């Protein structure tokens, strides 16, 4: 995209030291992919490999470079297509608040797709949406159509996993109408990830339930679906939190071997969603050689906000076997806060859920 780039600038853009960038450049020259000619540029073999193997053939390079520029206004660049995107968002199914759904704006959904592009996680990649009432899959598909105006781009694919058949049917209908490469799969994420999804994807998006255990579960399911290599991006949208809860979130990241590559406050805007003040933050997480899901099996704990508020859960410390009560009206409202504080008896931060009871047993009686 930048033929004739200086080695120093190449190192700066790839965020690696100049000596390492120089060594990699020399290896690629030796392999016939690059050449030193008034800076660094691709050979014909290098260009063909990028276009064919990575899926860049037919790319509108002018639009691509403008979208990648930090000072560009993408809303102006994509103004001609956003009216169509808005129409799809206006007609989407009603949000189901019982499973913590909330409608992000069309601009937010497209902004996520562009962030994926800027993180080099879009073109030629297999992308998973762990839940998609925000239609990120549709935004990605429509952005790709704009980037490849001649059509025929087949190197990028998107899979949507969601419990809500309404949204899956709606997304599937748009995919057929617009000829987008989107596959939809109905699945309750309380259950383990289907075998055919494991280890298949280059990145995933998730905007999980508003509970920390919901965040951990959805991250766990997405991690299982990622290819087993370091540096894979995870795009996590989650409500802004006070410092204690942010610490609990980051403990969960560390527990799963994820690093925070970037954090964008107020990145997401929602219609309604007063519970999270109509905005949430975007994390770009990265996998490491220590990355592993926290939850592998069936998830039996409270997941959605309403469930957390109406249940009292009994956890048993895996180290000393002490029992601790967790509930919204108790001193320890969530399992993540219990992990953050540690077992009152021994300080351990690993627990098993052994019981759930209704906090208001009479509330369901007529």
Mean pLDDT along residues 34-41: 93
- What φ, ψ does residue 279 adopt, rounded to 5°? -140, 155
336 & 213 share domain: no
The Cα 172–Cα 174 span in angstroms is 5
One DSSP character per residue, 266-303 reads EEEEEES-GGGTTEEEEEEEEE-TT---S--S---S--
Residue 189 lies in a domain: yes
Residue 218 lies in a domain: yes
247 & 313 share domain: no
Q: What is the DSSP letter of 226?
A: B
93 & 149 share domain: yes
Residue 311 lies in a domain: yes
What percent of the chain has pLDDT above 90? 70
The Cα 251–Cα 257 span in angstroms is 10
Residues 182-230: pLDDT tens digits? Answer: 999 999 999 999 999 999 999 999 999 888 888 999 999 999 999 999 9
Contacting residues for 128 by C-beta, under 8 A, at least 6 apart:
158, 159, 160, 161, 197, 200, 201, 203, 204, 205, 222, 225
202 & 252 share domain: yes
Residue 363 lies in a domain: no
96 & 242 share domain: yes
Q: Of 255, 287, 319, which residue sits at a domain end?
A: 287
pLDDT at 365 (0 to 100): 37
177 & 280 share domain: yes
45 & 65 share domain: no
Question: Is pLDDT of 339 > 90?
Answer: no
Nearest CA to 334 among 358, 363, 305, 355? 305
Number of independent structural domains in the chain: 3
43 & 154 share domain: no
Residue 281 lies in a domain: yes
* CATH number of the domain that residue 347 is part of: 2.20.28
Residue 366 lies in a domain: no
130 & 67 share domain: yes
Residue 46 lies in a domain: yes
The Cα 158–Cα 155 span in angstroms is 10
133 & 160 share domain: yes
119 & 69 share domain: yes
pLDDT at 364 (0 to 100): 42
pTM of the model: 0.85
170 & 241 share domain: yes
Residue 216 burial by Cβ neighbours in a 10 Å radius (0-12, 13-18, 19+): buried
Nearest CA to 256 among 217, 204, 198, 298? 217
Residues 113-157: pLDDT tens digits? Answer: 999 999 999 999 999 999 999 999 999 999 999 999 998 899 999
What range does the domain containing 271 cover? 61-287
Residue 130 lies in a domain: yes
pLDDT at 181 (0 to 100): 95
Residues 165-194: pLDDT tens digits? Answer: 999 999 999 999 999 999 999 999 999 999
Rg (CA), the chain: 23
């Amino acid at each position: 995209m930048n033929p004739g780039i200086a080695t120093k600038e190449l190192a700066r853009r790839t965020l690696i030291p100049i000596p390492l960038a120089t060594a990699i450049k020399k290896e690629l020259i030796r392999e016939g992919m690059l050449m030193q000619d008034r800076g660094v540029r691709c050979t014909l073999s290098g260009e063909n490999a990028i276009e064919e193997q990575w899926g860049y053939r037919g790319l509108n390079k002018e639009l691509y470079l403008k979208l990648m520029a930090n000072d560009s206004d993408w809303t102006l660049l994509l103004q001609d297509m956003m009216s169509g995107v808005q129409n799809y968002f206006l007609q989407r199914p009603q949000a189901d608040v019982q499973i913590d759904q909330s409608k992000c704006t069309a601009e937010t959904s497209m902004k996520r797709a562009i962030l994926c592009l800027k993180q080099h996680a879009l073109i030629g990649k297999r992308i998973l949406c762990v839940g998609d009432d925000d239609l990120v899959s549709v935004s990605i598909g429509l952005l790709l159509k704009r980037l490849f105006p001649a059509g025929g781009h087949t190197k990028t694919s998107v899979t949507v996993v969601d419990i809500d058949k309404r949204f899956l049917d709606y997304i599937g209908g748009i995919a057929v109408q617009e000829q987008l490469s989107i596959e939809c799969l109905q699945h309750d994420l309380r259950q383990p990830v289907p075998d055919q999804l494991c280890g298949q994807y280059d990145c995933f998006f998730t905007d999980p339930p508003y509970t920390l255990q919901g965040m951990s579960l959805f991250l766990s399911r997405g991690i299982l679906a990622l290819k087993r290599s370091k540096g894979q991006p995870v795009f996590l949208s989650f409500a802004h939190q006070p410092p204690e809860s942010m610490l609990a979130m980051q403990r969960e990241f560390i527990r799963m071997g994820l690093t925070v590559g970037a954090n964008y406050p107020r990145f997401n805007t929602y219609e309604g969603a007063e519970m999270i003040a109509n905005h949430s933050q975007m994390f770009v997480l990265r996998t490491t050689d220590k990355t592993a899901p926290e939850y592998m099996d069936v998830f039996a704990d409270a997941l959605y906000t309403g469930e957390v508020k109406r249940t009292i859960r009994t956890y048993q410390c895996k180290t000393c076997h002490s029992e601790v009560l967790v509930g919204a009206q108790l001193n320890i409202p969530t399992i993540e806060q219990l992990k953050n504080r540690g077992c009152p008896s021994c300080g351990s931060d690993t627990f098993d859920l052994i019981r759930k009871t209704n906090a208001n047993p009479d509330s369901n009686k007529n």
